[in-house]
Amino acid sequence: MSRNAESTAFRSALEVIRAVEPRVADAIGAELTDQRESLKLIASENYASPATLLAMGNWFSDKYAEGTVGRRFYAGCQNVDTVEALAAEHARELFGAAHAYVQPHSGIDANLVAFWAVLADRVESPALKKAQVRQVNDLTEADWFALRRELGNQRMLGMSLDAGGHLTHGFRPNISGKMFDQRSYGTDPSTGLIDYDRVAEAAREFKPLILVGGYSAYPRKVNFRILREIADSVGATFMVDMAHFAGLVAGKVFTGDFDPVPHAHIVTTTTHKSLRGPRGGMVLCQPELADQVDRGCPMVLGGPLPHVMAAKAVALAEARRPDFADYAQRIVDNAQALAEGLLRRGAKLVTGGTDNHLVLIDVSGYGLTGRQAEQALLDSGIVTNRNSVPQDPNGAWYTSGIRVGTPALTTRGLGTAEMDQTAELMHTVLTQTTAGANADGTPSKAKYTLDPALADKIARQATDLLAPHPLYPAVDLT
Q: Are 265 and 330 part of one and the same domain? A: no
pLDDT attached to residue 464: 95
Catalytic residue, chosen from 6, 162, 181, 241, is 241
Half-sphere exposure of 443 (CA within 13 A, CB side): 9
The three-class DSSP label of residue 194 is coil
Point out the domain boundary residue: 319, 338, 356. Answer: 319
What pLDDT band is residue 124 in, cutting at 50, 70 and 90? very low
C-alpha 209/C-alpha 176 separation (Å) is 13
Q: Of 279, 312, 330, 371, which is the active-site residue?
A: 279
pLDDT given for residue 406 in this prediction? 98
pLDDT of residue 178: 74
Q: Is residue 41 part of a domain?
A: no
Identify the domain containing residue 447 by its residue range.
323-466
Asked if residue 52 is part of any domain, the answer here is no
- Could you report the per-residue pLDDT of 125-155, keeping only the tens digit for each? 444 455 444 444 566 777 766 766 665 558 8
Residues 385 and 442 in one domain: yes
- Known active-site residue 66: yes
Return the SS3 of 404: strand
Residues 159 and 283 placed together within one structural domain of the fold = yes
Instruction: Out of 66, 143, 195, 229, pick the active-site residue.
Output: 66
Number of H helices, E strands in the chain: 20, 17
In a domain? residue 53: no
Please check whether residue 17 lies inside any domain of the structure: no
Is there a single domain that holds both residue 380 and residue 414?
yes
Q: Do residues 377 and 366 touch, judged by C-beta distance below 8 A?
A: no
Amino acid in position 471: L
**Residue 459, pLDDT above cutoff 90:** yes
Q: Which residues of 86-117 are buried (b: 16+ CB within 10 A; e: fewer)?
A: bbbebbeebbebebbbbbbbbbbbbbbbbbbb
- Clarify whether residues 388 and 433 are in a common domain: yes
Could you report the per-residue pLDDT of 317-375, keeping only the tens digit for each?
Answer: 999 999 999 999 999 999 999 999 999 999 999 999 999 999 999 999 999 999 999 99
Q: pTM for this structure?
A: 0.90
Q: Is 170 left (phi over 0), alpha (psi -120 to 50) or beta?
A: left
**Upper half-sphere CA count for residue 363 (Cβ side, 13 Å):** 35
**Is residue 341 domain-shared with residue 289, that is, in the same domain?**
no
Burial label, 438 (beta-carbon count in 10 A; 0-12, 13-18, 19+): exposed
In a domain, 233, yes or no: yes
pLDDT number for residue 231? 96
Whether 175 and 311 map to the same domain: the answer is: yes
CATH number at residue 394: 3.90.1150.10
Is 121 one of the catalytic residues? no
Give 260's DSSP letter.
S
Sign of CA dihedral 257, 262, 264, 268: positive
Is 64 assigned a catalytic role? yes
pLDDT one-digit tens code per residue, 376-393: 999 999 999 999 999 899
Q: Which of 40, 220, 273, 371 is catalytic?
A: 273
Q: Do 128 and 178 touch, CB atoms closer than 8 A? A: no
> To the nearest whole percent, how much of the chain has pLDDT over 70?
92
**Cα–Cα dist 256/264, whole Å:** 12
Domain end point (choices 319, 335, 361)? 319
pLDDT in tens, 225-262: 999 999 999 999 999 999 999 999 999 999 999 999 99
SS3 content of the chain, % helix, strand, coil (to 5): 50, 15, 35
Residue 220 lies in a domain: yes
- Closest alpha carbon to 280 in 100, 142, 125: 100
Distance between CA atoms of residues 269 and 91, nearest Å = 11
Q: Which of 64, 121, 333, 420 does the annotation list as catalytic?
A: 64
Choosing from 268, 269, 270, 433, the catalytic residue is 270
Are 304 and 232 members of one domain?
yes
For residues 284 and 254, membership in a common domain is answered with yes
**Residue 273 appears among annotated catalytic residues:** yes
User: Residue 225 maps to which CATH number?
Assistant: 3.40.640.10
pLDDT of residue 441: 87
Within this chain, do residues 193 and 140 fall inside the same structural domain, yes or no?
A: yes
**Arithmetic mean of pLDDT, 17-42:** 95
418 annotated active-site: no
How confident is the model over 273-332, as pLDDT tens digits?
A: 999 999 999 999 999 999 999 999 888 888 899 999 999 999 999 999 999 999 999 999
At 166, is the pLDDT very low, low, confident or very high (cuts 50, 70, 90)? confident
Shared-domain flag, residues 206 and 229: yes
Residue 187 within any structural domain of the chain: yes
Mean pLDDT value across the chain: 91
> In the chain, how many domains are there?
2
Which one of 319, 350, 375 terminates a domain? Answer: 319
Q: What is the pLDDT of residue 212?
A: 95
Q: Tell whether 259 and 384 lie within a shared domain.
A: no
Told to judge if 279 belongs to the known catalytic residues of this protein, a careful annotator would answer: yes
